[in-house]
Each structure stands twice: as C-alpha cells, then as structure tokens.
Amino acid sequence: AAAEPPMKLSPARDFVRGIAALALTAAVLVAHLSAPVLAHPANQTQVPNGDKAFRNGVAWPGLGHLVANGSGPINSFGIAFQNHNGTWTSAFCNEDTDGDGYSNGAELGDPDCVWTPGDVPERSDDITHPGFTDSYPTFTTLSWRLVGPSPREGV
C-alpha cells in the first residue's frame, strides 16, 4: 500500500495561526514596553523615599515587587504594604519585612517612624530595599537596628 501524502493545511487555518502568532508577539512587546510604568508611582509616595530605593547598587522603583521595574509578583515588603492598606504606619515602619535586622523605616530613611506623605524623610541617602535581605544600610548606628549588634557592622 502506498503511503498517503501529508495533509496540507487549508489557507484559512494558516491565516488563523499567523494571526495568533502575531497577537502573541504584540502582547509580549506591549508587556515589555510598558513594564517601567508598573512601579505604581502613586504607591511610591506612600512610603518615605519610595522612589529612591536601591538593591545592590540597582535602582528599584518597584519597591513592593520581586522585579525592579515593578512587574511580576510582590515581595515581602509588598505583602506588608498591602496588609497595612498602603499606609505608612508606625507598625509598618517598625517592621523588618525582609528579616535583615533593619526596620523598614531604617532602610527607607525614617528611623524614628515620624514621616507622613508629603514630608521630607529624615534621611535620603543610603536608601536600601526593605524587601530583600541582601539589601541593608551601611550606617553603623545601632539604635536604628531592631536587634543587637550585627557582624555586618563589625561590632
């Protein structure tokens, strides 16, 4: 018996597949190009220095996200931000959402937890990320720490 020739797709089916591929490509392109705006600038104004945080020398405008530009899943700071209804409270400020021994306030320049939206934070340098343990301030003032001396401080 002779083998049957391979089945040829109809032009209509080829057209549909082409459109689907084009739509997928367009969606990926739009997601990629719009990623920088996903950092939610309105949320950045709800925490001190919300637009000035760095992680290992990399600017991190998406403070509550695992990805610097604010896309993708949220990190431990983002979860806490949601749990506090997007409000900078004394409790939220004093939390150590990443477990590195520094309060959120210490990492974001409000060590005394007195900042309110619109205020100038006490500190605007050495702003680190309160959602990752590998990002912590370089100052050595122990009063800004939650727990005793740290090996990082050389004490």
Q: What is the maximal distance between C-alpha atoms in the chain? A: 88
Helix (H) or strand (E) holding 20: helix 11-34
Residues for the chain: how many in total? 155
pLDDT digits (tens, 9 = 90+) for 41-98: 889 999 999 999 999 999 999 999 999 999 889 999 999 999 999 999 999 999 999 9
Q: Round to the nearest angstrom and report the end-to-end CA distance of the chain.
A: 86
Alpha-carbon distance 40 to 16, whole Å?
Answer: 36
pLDDT of residue 6: 63
- Report residue 9 as tokens: 């797709």
Q: How many CB atoms lie within 10 A of CB 66?
A: 15
pLDDT digits (tens, 9 = 90+) for 124-155: 999 999 999 999 888 655 554 554 444 444 43
Domain ranges, ordered by start, for the chain: 38-149
HSE, side-chain direction, 13 A CA sphere, residue 5: 2
Contact 47, 130 (CB under 8 A): no
